[in-house]
Structure 1
Amino acid sequence: MSKVQKVLNSLIVPVTAVILGLLFGAVIMLIFGYDPIAGYSALIEGVVGQPYYIGETIRQATPYILVGLSVAVAFKAGLFNIGAEGQMLMGWLGSIIVALQFDGLSKWIHLPLAILAGILFGALWAFIPGILKATLRVNEVIVTIMLNYTALYIFNYVVQNILTDGLDKTKTIGASASLQSDFLQNITQYSTLHWGILIALGFALIIWLMLNKTTFGYEIEAVGFNENASQYAGMSVKKTIIMSMVIAGGLAGLGGVMEGLGTYGNAYVLSSSPGIGFDGIAVALLGGSSPIGIIFSALLFGALKIGALNMPAVAGVPNELVNVIIALIIFFVASSYIIRWTMAKFKKGAKAE
């Protein structure tokens, strides 16, 4: 099988899942009395209708890329990182702490330091389930779910009691630690697009190289396929599990940095988790855990989230419907066996004729 055929085969499930998700979404609109053509037209207009919408879509996709990469690295090692949400919050918190406490440094020192702090906070938060999984075989799903809630409460406590004196929001970080860009905002009609998109794309390339061109990347996939065989081959399964979770946590933490230093420029009390970490699971699934696929998947999810905001005003369609469409897409991705079986039957029928 040629490389082109392999690429085309890998695209069958995600493309089919998106098409089916949109079709079923249209059916749901019809059932509830909405015009699907008007609804989807409003969604598309809300994505590409103005430079502002394009900037917001790319900005929304930025943390999705990083959190999707986080989930994908864990997937490759046979781990289900449900904790990307908590790791993202810890990365957001770590970057804001450094941004506020070291204000006055040169930007060439302050910004990298704040970004590194976010990565380390996320990595340390993921180290906990990693070490427990590797040494005591504790289920990482249970641990990471609990740590998500813990991260949320720590985040809010630090904001209210350490970074501020009982306030619900920290002061805005200085320019020396900010990812915001006047240039990107000007060309997108003052959207919140920031330089973080370049960081996200850079890390997508780094992870692709790590997984496909290094011995450690091979070990991650080998452990994910079969721990016993990897152990027999001389690989350190425990080390690989821990390092995979640490890398995943660092990437999710970097996703939080994008929010703290880029989108908002502060940290504020959250009534609930933002949901970016959970959306990242869907991004990784749709992208087939491939860094390149995750970039396109993140852009799609960003487009759906931003475009949905235009649907109520223009077409009268509730923007919550987009969450239903996303859920349908995930369902069809999870039903990949059915899609492949149907395609195989279709090909056999075509050949018979």
Structure 2
Amino acid sequence: MDPKTASNLSFILNKPHDVEFKSRDLPTLSDPHDVLVAINYTGICGSDVHYWTHGAIGHYVVKEPMVLGHESAGTIVEVGSAVTTLRPGDRVALEPGYPCRRCGPCLSGKYNLCPEMRFAATPPYHGTLTGFWVSPADFCYKLPESVTLQEGALVEPLAVAVHIVRQAVVTPGQSVVVMGAGPVGLLCAAVARAFGASTVVSVDIVESKLAFAKSFCSTHTYSSQRIPAPENASNIRALAPNLAGGADVVIDASGAEPSIQTSLHVVRTGGTYVQGGMGRDEITFPIMAMCLKEVTAKGSFRYGSGDYKLAVELVASGRVDVRKLISGVVDFEDAEQAFEKVKEGEVIKILIAGPNEKKE
């Protein structure tokens, strides 16, 4: 593809529910370690929809027009003079956040906590719903021939799940309960199975999501009831013999207060709890249950060193079949339809084809 003759049409958010398609200048390589990528497919997640509907997430506020999107795969069309690991034509999954590489978190190996992180579609930085994207070469992950570009677009949410499960230190034979059966929750359950967990329970309030979870990766499912958290926890522990004393690991991928409350009652004495879902800034949760059981509690934010590489390997090996999560693909000009479908809960994961992707 010749970027000089191709489109750099972009999907731009001006303010909540006010979007436009606009052709932007072709980005150029200013750093010899960068590459120019033609975007082939982009997935839509909850944070994209939140910006579209509210114009902000926490203290990240859209004050100027911003290109949306961050779950992308594309094709290298140009490389900087210092790049030796990639060449034009290579298909890559894009890690859409670039740290400063010099601060304490970066130097300690936790670059996802870098205070200077430049993350796609997070104000003030533009996202990947565009024709061409400039990226540091070391944040592009070459896709094996067996992995499609559509699968490559799902490496980003899979890397989120990999990071959560690695935070939980899931090991073979363990029991894992995942609260929430949205895309990240489903992928957490799938990664836990790939890590060797023998029992994986998906919990949600939507029966169709639970049915999909059972067919996709989970050994058990539970439809959360409007009952006190200890009762929901008791019902979950009754699902399998190795859950009787509580789960070895509980992951909350929902951010919902009732799920978090139930999680602390489900986890076993000495077990591990990881908060992956984001919800309200402040909630009420059973602190005594956490203390008396001496639970190891951790947060999880995006992804860090090795997570993207492992995510690509899990897809390439077939241990996580992300194709099953793809509900459909829409043309670039129909991008807002994808946002509508995600908002209404009509899809698991929908992809938007890049503006230069050939229509079938």
- TM-score tier, shorter chain, comes to under 0.3
Normalization by structure 2: what TM-score? 0.26
Normalization by structure 1: what TM-score? 0.26
From the two aligned structures, give the one with the greater strand fraction: 2
